[in-house]
Structure 1
Amino acid sequence: MTTEKGDATETAREVGGEAVRAGGRAGFAARGVLYVLVGALAVRIALTGTGEQADRGGAVAYTAATAFGAVLLWALGIGLAGMAVWRLSEAVLGAAGPKGHKAHRRALAAGRCVFYAGSAFLVLSFAVGERGSGEGSTDRQSRDLTARLLELPGGRWWVGAVAAGVLVAGLWIAGRAVLRKYWEELERERLTVRQRRLMDVTGVAGGVGRGLVFAALGFSGVKAAAAFDPGEAKGMDDAIRSFAQTPAGPWLLIAVAVGLVLFGLFSFGEAKWHEF
């Protein structure tokens, strides 16, 4: 009897673990869709100067306008929720790999859990008809949040600290991509030579593009803190558009936009080959 109970418990754990891993794979796929859409919208902005939003809100609105928009939104929201659950399991139980139980890895997983849970909530809110939730300019949201923080005692320092953290995170993301650190979390032995090349192209270019966007977000926040002006803060859309204001002009914007598309493709590869 004891053995039967033990076997049943072990089976339940295996089933639960497999469900969590499936959620993680679905989450990578959902993230891939969003980044491909954001990158494609950014390319259109660079080429045509359209007023579309190159951020999560723009991607959600674009998806909703397609023939099967409602179904796709539910799929994206559920996928992101699955990612949040998987990240929560990493925070509680530790991630795969020799360093998965380190405190910093657990803390990072917890932060990612909160981020993906929030993203899932917003997308699903939009899917059920709360158009003001899933859609909406990240630029406006960033300025509003910055303004509220600046009103607090020591608000300038809070904004500066958070913005500096985002800036450093962006450089860290780009640096890890260049060093191809993503292989630490992929089942490399399962990939063919051609598949490894594909993951390297999308992983490096995509990671650098994504890192530059985060760095631009953080830099705008640092400027907002220094000037004590929430109008300097940028959301993802404005941060992406800002690359067109550099000496490289729209070409840098196109390069970053293509990088975001490639990161979306890299996410699809993670859905298949990530180590769980």
Structure 2
Amino acid sequence: MNTSATASPGRMQARRMARGSAVEGAARAGLTARGVIYLLVGVLALQIAFHDSKQQADRGGALAELAEKPFGAVLLWALGIGLVGMALWRLSEVLFGSAGPDGRKASKRLLSGVRLVFYSFVAYSVLSFAAGSGGSGSSDKQSKDVTARALEAPAGQWLVGAAGAGIVVAGVWIAARALLRKYHDKLKLGEMSPRTRKLVDVTGVGGGVARGAVFAAAGGFAVRAAVDYQPDKAKGLDDTLRSFAQTPLGPWLLVCVAAGFVLFGLFSFAMARWRRV
């Protein structure tokens, strides 16, 4: 009797379970790390709104703030490792599909691929910062430098304009999905009490709308930089957030957006707890 044939399905099942547990752990670690960054950026933006702080309200500013805390170096390495987990989770979605009935569709895998590239870059920048190489500089300078190089390329104005328009569309899409509570499809709602579900909706809707608004604004600045052929008009996260304080509503619009970022950080923690992976 060939025992290897009967044992093979069991071994395959064990491998699938181990892979599933590893992917789930990586996803939850990554969502927690994302929550920490958004929470810190939101707090920094609130400081800018009330005190005209010179600190950067972006990933670099958040990491610098974290580095000043007790055990800051340990926290930075933990954050970077968590973001590596996020990237690995997205890689698994590209290779094997994501949770849900349409998780294996090409469009879903392509979106996971975009997220893989983004979170790989973020993880690298955080780990570089933790290692002391300053890998997470000002988002404003990075945006201007990238825009300047892109504008010098053939058809550069069109490329930058198209990228900016794409970011605007992505921002509107993010905000609309938050308003429609599309994230419900990814959550284990049955494990939540009615009160918890309401609190998660507050963080999901408020945080998603704020995040979408910032994306759309940053994309608008990129389009303006392309039209005027002036890379200095492109803005990173810090300058984009500060621009909300320069509207007729004054600092109060920035307060709302900053509070939304804090809410999105809390929403990320909720996703780390209840998201289906």
**Partner SS for 1:245:** coil
Say whether residues 1:72 and 2:79 are aligned partners.
no
Q: What is the one-letter code of the residue matched to 1:53? A: Q
* Pairwise CA RMSD: 0.8
Of the three residues 107, 119, 122, the one matched with 1:119 is: 122
**How far off is 1:5 after superposition?**
3.5
Of the three residues 55, 61, 64, the one matched with 2:64 is: 61
**How far off is 1:102 after superposition?**
1.7
Separation (CA, whole Å) in 2 of partners of 1:19 and 1:64: 28
**How far off is 1:128 after superposition?**
1.3
TM-score by length of 2: 0.97
CA displacement, residues 72-104 of structure 1 (integer Å, 9 cap, x when unaligned): 011110110001111111111111111212211
CA displacement, residues 11-70 of structure 1 (integer Å, 9 cap, x when unaligned): 122112211110000000000000000000000000000100000010011111111111
Q: What is the one-letter code of the residue matched to 1:28? A: L
4+ long deviations beyond 4 Å: none
Corresponding residue for 1:130?
133
The within-5 A match list for 1:156-175 is 156-175=157-176
The within-5 A match list for 1:74-153 is 74-131=77-134, 133-134=135-136, 136-153=137-154
Separation (CA, whole Å) in 2 of partners of 1:161 and 1:16: 39
CA displacement, residues 124-173 of structure 1 (integer Å, 9 cap, x when unaligned): 11111212x13x11000000000000001100000000010001101110
Q: What is the one-letter code of the residue matched to 2:145? A: D
Q: What is the one-letter code of the residue matched to 1:270? A: M
Q: What is the one-letter code of the residue matched to 1:269? A: A
Instruction: Report percent identity of matched pairs.
Output: 56
Corresponding residue for 1:26?
29
State the number of aligned residues.
274
Separation (CA, whole Å) in 1 of partners of 2:65 and 2:77: 14
TM-score by length of 1: 0.98
Separation (CA, whole Å) in 2 of partners of 1:154 and 1:114: 24
The within-5 A match list for 1:42-53 is 42-53=45-56
The within-5 A match list for 1:11-22 is 11-22=14-25
Q: Compare 197-206 and 89-98 and name the one that shifted more.
A: 89-98
| Unmatched 5+ stretches in structure 1 | none
| Unmatched 5+ stretches in structure 2 | none
Q: What is the one-letter code of the residue matched to 2:152? A: E
